[in-house]
Homo-oligomer: A and B are copies of this chain.
């Protein structure tokens, strides 16, 4: 396998961890990273250590700061530069300020093998529109996102023909869930000739990681009864904090709209309706409140019914379980792309067939 150069769009919690994890992986070189205000590009490889140090404080040392409002201005919370002109990637010596950071990456994209879209919590069609921009600029390569919502997959499918013409291999929903757990479900299904149900249940402990993952928490809140993604996007940080407080910092989610359902259906494994996703988020502890588990129940060719189970150790963080798999799918996608396989793929389609 040849070296893979990749860019990360978004240097929030997920984007920063992707850069970090990539330094532990063979064959992956991050060459570009951007956020809303700046971009860092180095085709010989970014200095990830410098970039992370410049843009991230030691949050864990000051968790008390986590409820401070950072709306509308520059603020430093627990040592993290959160917003404003000096915040984010431009704090790195490798970065330059720009109002058009994605265009800056696109301008260099003929030298980039894969682009990781690590932008949570925007409009539903934000990621599809980002993909449009790469396609329009004649990009040929891999796009990978870690989106969660089922409805976005359809929007990407509408673009599949364009991606195929353009030589783009788009892997959607390649984080933890959907992503890691979708792939695990696809493997677990292999005992069966008919899958009756897939039950995905996650636990996340996010005390010290809370500041770093505000976008993810905000998006999770959109899954609570009575909320949707528009509500969640428009809520102030104080309103988000109030919802969390109402639940004493431990929020249980049931029947979430997670794209695991459509991603397993498109791989032919089961109907989307047979997939349920739920979990518990605890922002008061770094311990997981429940063990992340995938249960796949099906019928074997010889008439038995059983449930295969995949469990993640409680010691594996959300960050480990999002970013390792995301980069794993990047490798699989680049291989597909180099072999000339273009279009839209879900994680389960990069597994053995069902």
Chain A residues close to B by CB (< 8 Å):
1, 17, 20-21, 24-27, 180, 183-184, 187-188, 190-194, 268, 300-302, 304-317, 319-321, 323-325, 327-332, 335-336, 339-341, 347, 350-354
Complex CA gap A314/B309 in Å reads 11
Quick check: B300 and A325 within 8 Å, CB to CB? no
Quick check: B308 and A316 within 8 Å, CB to CB? yes
Taking A25-B354, A347-B352 as known contacts, 12 extra A-B pairs with beta carbons closer than 8 A to each other, sorted by chain A number, are A180-B187, A190-B325, A190-B328, A300-B316, A300-B317, A304-B316, A306-B313, A306-B314, A308-B316, A309-B311, A328-B351, A335-B353
A1/B353 contact (C-beta < 8 A), A190-B328, A301-B24 known: yes
| Least CB distance, A30 to chain B, in whole angstroms | 14
Quick check: A188 and B310 within 8 Å, CB to CB? yes
Complex CA gap A138/B137 in Å reads 43
Complex CA gap A314/B323 in Å reads 32
- Nearest B-chain residue to A23, judged by Cβ: B301
CB<8 Å pairs between A and B, sample of 8: A17-B301, A180-B191, A301-B319, A304-B316, A306-B314, A306-B315, A306-B316, A332-B351
User: Could you say which residues of chain B place their CB within 8 Å of the CB of A350?
Assistant: 351-352
- Nearest B-chain residue to A350, judged by Cβ: B352
A304/B317 contact (C-beta < 8 A), A324-B193, A351-B351 known: yes
- Nearest B-chain residue to A312, judged by Cβ: B308
Quick check: A317 and B302 within 8 Å, CB to CB? yes
User: Could you say which residues of chain B place their CB within 8 Å of the CB of A311?
Assistant: 308-311
User: Could you say which residues of chain B place their CB within 8 Å of the CB of A308?
Assistant: 310-313, 316
Complex CA gap A354/B300 in Å reads 30
Complex CA gap A320/B183 in Å reads 19
| Least CB distance, A150 to chain B, in whole angstroms | 21
| Least CB distance, A302 to chain B, in whole angstroms | 6
Our pick among B187, B320, B335 for the contact of A187 (Cβ within 8 Å) is B187
User: Could you say which residues of chain B place their CB within 8 Å of the CB of A352?
Assistant: 183, 325, 328-329, 331-332, 347, 350
| Least CB distance, A351 to chain B, in whole angstroms | 7
Our pick among B187, B192, B336 for the contact of A183 (Cβ within 8 Å) is B187
User: Could you say which residues of chain B place their CB within 8 Å of the CB of A327?
Assistant: 353
Complex CA gap A351/B331 in Å reads 10
Quick check: A319 and B331 within 8 Å, CB to CB? no
| Least CB distance, A21 to chain B, in whole angstroms | 5
| Least CB distance, A320 to chain B, in whole angstroms | 4
Quick check: B194 and A190 within 8 Å, CB to CB? no
Most central of A25, A315, A336 by chain B CB within 10 Å: A315
- Nearest B-chain residue to A313, judged by Cβ: B306
